[in-house]
Structure 1
């Protein structure tokens, strides 16, 4: 896809350094730098940025960085360094915001169900904090296991990864180069960028709405992917329409 640009190079190096460092720091790195649910005592406002540089395992960082390498440099060459950085980080922030919003939509009804069952707030948060430490559920009489698991999972599951920002880059790439033929590994048939990236987006929408996993692990933050893609698409569509009419 051409030479790697300086901004993409810096982002790649930063992500790799964060990943290597987190392997040495272990749980402390996750506690401090992953994005926790705002109700969790581990939450810090800086995490809305630092979580973009954290990754769960080798495959997670590999696929994100591969996508950044393949599409990021081409996009940066088209829009410039400042616009690329704005798009990258605004997509990542939007991803975090949408994921947190939908986590609240899972947490609040479950929390209210426990209150309605007569469980005191202090008891609820004690059980949640214990769940963070022990990675286990504490069930309550009169409340379904499903409700407790929904509440606990929302509270204890941190968000990591550059996927939201990467989806913003992918969506923007599809706006700039909609008809560029792309290839999927093991499928020797070219697919236009707008169809390949658009299809990948729709798969994530399906998974977010239904909870069914088609691609990736079951704990994938699908709403984060959607948030990043939407902001990337809107931002690039606006730029292309109003400032970059030479792109046709």
Structure 2
């Protein structure tokens, strides 16, 4: 492994420092995590600040491990300024893609809430939960059955309206944190610039070329993002966004041959 370069070292220090403050001094996530665009708590600066917050020590470790494994070589090739530009472009790009898809999903959810509120029925309630809050549906199964047995009861009607409103409010309250988008951008760059470099990975008993590793990871993240398991808290589309913006940026830099290195 190459010695840690200045920009990688500074990013490592900042991420660890902010994690320590957030976990031990006072919470930073309420203001600086990336909130859904439709949330009243959303601010434009969160597209940068979210990159320096993490959900736990394991989350921090995995991202920083990727940074120190693949970042130094890229910084040595590009220089500090270009590497830092790359890091922030891919991290912000990851947030933009994640937020764009989230905006569409929340807009669809808001429409579903409006439609249900105008015509609250037991079947409509069960259908809403099965489509938009499957885990919550299991939790509220007894209420669903009671509502079906009493479809004209105003108490059940009002409670069902409150429940669908709570599902929407919960969707707008879920933040995103982590440097994963930028790290996946770094991984993408490594795979594009050094495609035939063989990587030795934990739990894989044979070396794998960087280009295949990156392709597999990208396809896995795309599949996971489309599946969108509600029990899965991983921001897969942010990972894809980091890789996508890395590809675009490298292709752009590739047209600027005199300025690339």
User: Which TM-score band (shorter chain)?
Assistant: 0.7 to 0.9
Q: Which structure has the greater CA radius of gyration?
A: 2
Aligned to 2:238: 224
Change in Cα spacing, 1:202 to 1:145, as seen in structure 2 (3 Å) is farther
Runs of 4+ in 1 over 6 A off after TM superposition: 142-147, 244-247
In the alignment, does 2:12 pair up with 1:12?
Answer: yes
For the structure 1 residues 34 and 102, does the alpha-carbon distance in structure 2 shift closer, same or farther, using more than 3 Å as the test?
Answer: same
User: Is residue 2:164 matched to residue 1:165?
Assistant: no
Q: Deviation at 1:187?
A: 2.1
Structure 2 residues without counterparts, runs of 5 or longer: 119-138, 145-155
2:199 to 177, 182, 189: 182
| 1:53 matched residue in structure 2 | 52
Kept in 2, the 8 Å contact 1:103–1:154? The answer is: no
Q: How many residues align?
A: 226
Distance change (3 Å), C-alpha of 1:236 and 1:45? same
Q: Which shows bigger deviation, 36-45 or 14-23?
A: 36-45
Match of 2:2 in 1: 2
- Equivalent runs, 1:64-79 vs 2, <5 Å: 64-79=63-78
Q: Distance in 1 between matches of 2:52 and 2:106?
A: 26
Deviates further, 34-43 or 75-84: 34-43
Query: Per-residue displacement from partner, 1:50-99 (whole Å, max 9, x unpaired)?
Result: 10000000000000000000000011111111111111100011111111
- After superposition, the Cα gap between the structure-2 partners of 1:30 and 1:45, relative to the gap in structure 1 and judged at 3 Å, is same
TM (normalized to structure 1)?
Answer: 0.82
Listed as ranges, the gaps of 5+ residues in structure 1 are 120-135
1 or 2, which has the higher helix percentage? Answer: 2
Map 1:43-192 → 2, pairs under 5 A: 43-118=42-117, 141=157, 151-192=168-209
| Mapped partners of 1:226, 1:147: distance in 2 | 30
For the aligned residues, what is the CA RMSD?
Answer: 2.9
